[in-house]
Structure 1
Amino acid sequence: MELVIREVAAGDKAAWHALWDGYNQFYESEIPAEITQNTWQRLLDSRSAVHCRVAVADGRVVGFAMIVLHEGTWVTSPICYLEDLFVMAEMRGKGIARRLIQALIAEGKSVGWSRLYWHTAQNNPARNLYDEFTPADEYVRYRMNL
Structure 2
Amino acid sequence: MTQDTVTVRPLRAADEESWRKLWTGYLTFYESSVSEEVYQTTFGRLLDGDDHEFHALVAESDGELIGLVHYLFHRHCWRVENVCYLQDLFAAPEARGKGVGRALIEAVYAKADEAGSPNVYWLTQDFNHTARQLYDRIGTLTPFIKYQRA
SS of the counterpart of 1:141?
A: coil
Letter of the structure 2 residue corresponding to residue 13 of structure 1:
E
Letter of the structure 2 residue corresponding to residue 86 of structure 1:
F
| Cα deviations by residue, 1:43-85 (Å, 9 ceiling, x for unpaired) | 1113361110100112211100001211111112221101100
Letter of the structure 1 residue corresponding to residue 31 of structure 2:
E
The runs of at least 4 aligned residues of structure 1 exceeding 3 Å deviation read none
Judge conservation of contact 2:71–2:108 (CA < 8 Å) in 1.
no
Aligned counterpart for 2:45 among listed residues 35, 42, 45: 42
Letter of the structure 2 residue corresponding to residue 32 of structure 1:
S
Q: What TM-score do you get using the length of structure 2 for normalisation?
A: 0.91
Task: Please say if 1:144 is aligned against 2:144.
Answer: no
Task: Please say if 1:107 is aligned against 2:111.
Answer: yes
Task: Please say if 1:4 is aligned against 2:7.
Answer: yes
Q: RMSD across aligned C-alpha pairs, in angstroms?
A: 1.3
Letter of the structure 2 residue corresponding to residue 55 of structure 1:
A
Judge conservation of contact 1:79–1:116 (CA < 8 Å) in 2.
yes
Q: Where does the alignment leave 5 or more consecutive residues of structure 2 unmatched?
A: none
| Cα deviations by residue, 1:108-127 (Å, 9 ceiling, x for unpaired) | 12221121000111111210
Aligned counterpart for 1:87 among listed residues 84, 91, 107: 91
1:129 — aligned with what? 134
Q: Where does the alignment leave 5 or more consecutive residues of structure 1 unmatched?
A: none
Task: Give, in whole Å, the separation in 2 of the partners of 1:34 and 1:137.
Answer: 34
Task: Give, in whole Å, the separation in 2 of the partners of 1:29 and 1:90.
Answer: 21
